[in-house]
Amino acid sequence: MAIAERRDPVPAPPAKLTIRGLRTRAARVPMRRPLATSGGTIAHAPLVLIDLETEEGVRGRAYLFAYSDLGARALRQLLAGILEMVRGDAVAPVAIAKKLHSRFTLMGREGLPTIAISGLDVALWDALARATDLPLTRLLGGELHAVPAYNSNGLGIAPPEKLADEALELLGEGFHAVKLRLGRKTLWEDVLATRAVRARIPAEALLMTDFNQALTIAEALARGRALDREAIYWIEEPIRHDDYAGAARIAREVETPIQIGENFLGTRAMAAAIAAGAADYVMPDLARIGGVTGWLRAAALADAAGIEMSSHLYPEVSAQLLAVTPTAHFLEYVDWAAPILARPLHISDGQAQPAEGPGVGLDWNDEAVARFALE
Ligand SMILES: [Mg+2]
């Protein structure tokens, strides 16, 4: 527009949103397929639902996977305390993150505070996206497109014949890739489970594996070398999540790519892991990396290092974020929150389709939330 045509040279101020309140609810959602890992079995997904209220009436939503009922109660208390620190502040996620990081420095951020702050961050971005009537991906400057996904439901520690059947069922839900949990007593048992699944699924189907930190370095080297002969797509968290030197040795000596990242608590942990050469692939968790704000910084780290980046849990929001991640790799699909969502994430032909409505992709099924309420 030519300057001469402007009758009013002063642009209208952008709409400003102000934090008014935070409503949290907890739900204990039964899982369609209880998951047995080397670190224990989970049959219910304890979720904390967050509804951010603004003075302007726009709402922001997020949920957190709380790992246990105790985790859910603790996260709700933390969020209530955090609200007192940010009530009346502008809905400005980058500024809020900076403020809360400083407020939690003395107590320590690592652990539940980071998860609570991440949940608030997602709700703040959701409010911004709803206020501008855009899906998160487009608010961040991207275009909505389908992202490759693998089915991470099921395939826990179970007998090999059962696993082979289940792998086929999971592929039948619209996927070309599945993930098998490993970390049985012996190397041979892990190899047999892997072979049972690999033998039953199509040759072109990808098979990811996850040890959930079960092994020592020596055992990880032995099992990694054995798995190098079994056509595995990646080996996830073979050892303690924070032993980057150990993970680097495994990544060097095992041919199959090593995947880590769901336990990065903030982007500094991820930067340290990358600097140590601890993994071939990374997969930050939305709620541990710092919400949308943390994810964008993590995506820049992965891009600068030239490392493929996948997601961990939270498939609905992760689908929006992988669409703006330069080295986007795979979305981890779990259906754990699907029962309490008005519109669960859509999957077809091995791809997740990010929601096209305004926001991060979350709307509640309130009847289901009430049914599964956890006091
Ligand atoms: Mg994992």
Query: How many angstroms separate the alpha carbon of residue 79 from the centre of ligand 1?
Result: 26
79 pLDDT exceeds 80?
yes
Please tell me the distance between residue 262's alpha carbon and the centre of ligand 1 in angstroms.
Answer: 6
Q: Which residues surround ligand 1, an ion (CB under 5 A)?
A: 210, 236, 262
Residue 351 alpha carbon to ligand 1 centre in Å:
20
Confidence of residue 352 (pLDDT cuts 50, 70, 90): very high
pLDDT-derived band at 108 (thresholds 50, 70, 90) equals: confident
Measure 188 CA to ligand 1 centroid, in angstroms: 21
Decide if pLDDT at 8 tops 70: no
pLDDT at 15: 65
pLDDT of 4 reads 46
The pLDDT-based confidence of 323 (bands split at 50, 70, 90) is: very high
Ligand 1 center to 237 CA (angstroms): 7
Domains of the chain: 19-131 (3.30.390.10), 138-364 (3.20.20.120)
The pLDDT of 241-246, averaged and rounded, is: 98
pLDDT at 146: 98
CA of 283 to the centre of ligand 1 (A): 9
* pLDDT of 13 higher than 50: no
SS (H, E, C) the chain: CCHHHCCCCCCCCCCCCEEEEEEEEEEEEEEEEEEEECCEEEEEEEEEEEEEEECCCCEEEEEEECCCHHHHHHHHHHHHHHHHHHCCCECCHHHHHHHHHHHCCCCCCCCHHHHHHHHHHHHHHHHHHHHCCCEHHHHCCCCCCCEEEEECCCCCCCCHHHHHHHHHHHHHCCCCEEEEECCCCCHHHHHHHHHHHHHHCCCCCEEEEECCCCCCHHHHHHHHHHHCCCCCCEEECCCCCCCHHHHHHHHHHCCCCEEECCCCCCHHHHHHHHHHCCCCEECCEHHHHCHHHHHHHHHHHHHHHCCEECCECCHHHHHHHHCCCCCECCEEECCCCHHHECCCCEEECCEEECCCCCECCCCECHHHHHHCECC
Distance 43 CA to ligand 1 centre (A): 16
Residues 113-148 pLDDT 10s: 999 999 999 999 999 999 999 999 999 999 999 999
| Cα 242 to averaged position of ligand 1 atoms, centre (Å) | 14
pLDDT of residue 35: 86
pLDDT of residue 10: 46
Distance 58 CA to ligand 1 centre (A): 35
Q: What is the rounded average pLDDT of the residues 217-234?
A: 98
